Structure 1
Amino acid sequence: MILVGNQRGGAKDLAVHLLKPENERVEVHELRGFVADDLHGAFQESYAVSRGTKCKQFLFSLSLNPPKGADVDEGQFLDAIGRAEDKLGLSGQPRAVVFHEKRGDDGQVRRHAHAVWSRIDVAEMKAVPLPHSKQKLQDVARDLYLEHGWTMPRGLVVSGQRDPRNFTLEEWQQAKRRGDDPRETKTAFQDAWAISDTKAAFAHALQERGYWLARGDRRGFVAVDHRGEIYAVPKWTGIKTKAVRERLGDPEELQSLADAKREIARAMQDKMEAFQREVAEKEAREREEAQAKRAALRERQNAERKALQEAQRLREQAEEQERQARLRTGWRGLWDRLNGSRKRTLEQNAQEADAAKKRDQTQQRTEQAAQLNQRRTLQAQRREQEQANATTTRSLREDAKVFRQMETEADLERNSRRDAFKERRRSEDRPRRSRQRDGPAPER
């Protein structure tokens, strides 16, 4: 059944709404945990208690609507209310339960229910938190649909499995890494059954989840996944074989396991080929991008080298001028020559020039090493891309090989069954032809 809940205030308005005379019948079934013995008094009591807190939405209201045509009794409603209460964390809170009966547009009387809880925990004097209440109620509703065998609205379907023919390359690789979870597999089958009311709808729902409906070797209903694994429909849906047959009809009308495997194998081979083309296109695109990056890096590094060379040239000129300025001319220069100062200045200048040269060379080597490391990093990234693409391609080829083998085995199985059928027909025909040749037995 559909469960819709929300936090709210407005105690008086809610009581009026639940007791409105538009319904053909209104039954206040339960008032639990309240001093008051009527709905208005109970909700006003909740409001009074909430005044001791900062909570404005002190009530949680839940409506329970069963599927159209479903016969839900009082016990099933109360069970659903109890499940929702436990899931939301409202166990033990004051609660009101009201049943409504109302005639719909089709003239049929439908029964639904409402449950209202006080959110105020009197012991703590604070509101019970209700995080993710919508999702929690959907989980409860989904379980109810599965257990009662009702046709489930598609909005409640939560299965994450999908038809592998619609996977992207990334999804395909992720699915292979993750492997199968039996719980997800069972959920996929139960979802497909719950949202289907005919064989065609069930087969379509299964294919959306990556399974093909087929006829088993023992005339039963089975499903096959893209690896050729076989699943018995009654086991994985949790539905009795008789009920499965009543909904799906005669299994002889379905394709055989061999035909289903052959169809899957061909479809998946096409998918693997498409993935390989995608990887090849990705490799070509990455190769072009790497070439463009290398060209841009080369241009940038050449510009950096020229800029460094120019900066060093200008600095060298400035430093040389500074050193030359130390050498005095005229009679002072003559005096420097006589007392040896000029010689010492020349030696100092030579030492500084040599140190400057070594400094510039070190700076050039540092830049060259940094640029070389940049080029190596770019090359390593490209090699990593190539290796990843090559690994993916090899994996896809292996997958395609598996599906080709699956198709071959399916063909062999079909041919074997056909030959066995022909041989059986020939065996049945031999006595008939023998009787025809011998003619009728003579009369005695």
Structure 2
Amino acid sequence: MILKGSQRSGAKQLGLHLLKTEENEHVELHDIRGFMSDDVVGALREAEAIAKGTKCRQFMFSVSLNPPENERVHVRTFEKALEAIEEKNGLTGQPRVVVFHEKEGRRHCHAVWSRIDPETMTAKPMSFYKNKLREVSRQLYLENGWQMPRGLIDPKDRDPRNFSLDEWQQAKRIGRHAGELKELIQEAWATSDSARTFAHALEERGFYFACGDRRGHVAVTFEGEVISISRATGKKAKELHARLGKPDALNSVEETRKRIAEEILPRIKSHVDEARASARAELDQLNARRMEMAKAHALERAKLDAGQKARFEAEARTRADRFRKGMIGLWDRLTGMRAQLEKQNQLEVMWALRRDQDQRQMTINAQLRERGDLQQEINAARTKHAQALRALHHDAAYYRLMRRGEEPKVKTAFERLVTMREQPALDSKHPRLDRVKENKPDAAKKHVSSDEHLKRLREHQQTPPRGPELDHDL
């Protein structure tokens, strides 16, 4: 499973966020250890109060544990992972809170440790914790036989569409998917070789090239959000300047937003509004099914918990009745009979707890499968409407070319590049290829880089980009 950690403060904010049910369909408090309080916010506030006696500001260590998407991971696997994290980072025995979240048909875990040792009133050092978490993550993939992500094997092969929490929140404001936004900008970068072609490729995808407030290259969405080109493509400023030139010649973000409002918005607003209304109507129906399913699942779990509790109490009474009282009970102590009964009861308690745990896990797995089927419908609807919006921006870009007297292209830049790549390779004696070799020695490198980037995008399109499962990093 993927492990992401951070040192942080903000006890109350984190506690409330871990209990938030607006985005999470199910929130389950799994464990509170080492605190007087028995609720999440109270426990974290307690850790904050203890930290007041030290100079430590980031007194909590927070980790999210995200298993592979298609795996149904038992709670004992999560517990084993938590033990490995504690051992690697010197947190064994430290007070902690463990919470499970479920959303979009996936189940993941959040754990928060207090870094303060109450005996010495010092903070546990967290040096190189990212490397240690990566080691634990790799070991979990190997032990459980899961397919390890290429990005975990080699950071250079990570999914280029992965996004941070800030990028996820920005995309959420405009009702888009952060991975989709990054993928579109990376496509535009991979299929262009100059500022002019890059700007047109962006417009085909609903973005507008501009100069940011910090004199950097940015893309402004149709809704007015600003996205850093460097962050979206993973390219450094030097590489951006080499292909796109200095951003000073571009319009500012304010001018670009004004242009969108005056020139572009009036022409396609009705079509965009119609597409979004259609998407909203379909997604509202799916969301209603999702909420109804979440309520039914919660009720089923509550009935299961109540039944298991009643059964456990009845079994506990049966175990207690085995101990005889009075002189016979004293005789049982002297003969060792009571000790045998105590050992038998302990084994039965352990068996009963594991039985109940397995039974609950089976229920959760069945519900996750049902929820996963619904999520596939939701994802299909999102993809369909995202493609419709992209087609609108694509057509609008062509109309603007025609208005300027330029010939509109028949295919998008991405489609043209794919078509060129499918054609037979040019002969080495071809004069055009000779001119490329003579005049542009670095051209081949550039095309190889674009090919590799497009190849990676295609490979990762089969799997969704990793979003901020690290949703505690506020």
Shorter-chain TM-score tier: 0.3 to 0.5
**Larger RCO, structure (CA 8 Å, separation 6 or more):** 2
Given the two structures, how large is their TM-score scaled by the length of structure 1? 0.34
Given the two structures, how large is their TM-score scaled by the length of structure 2? 0.32
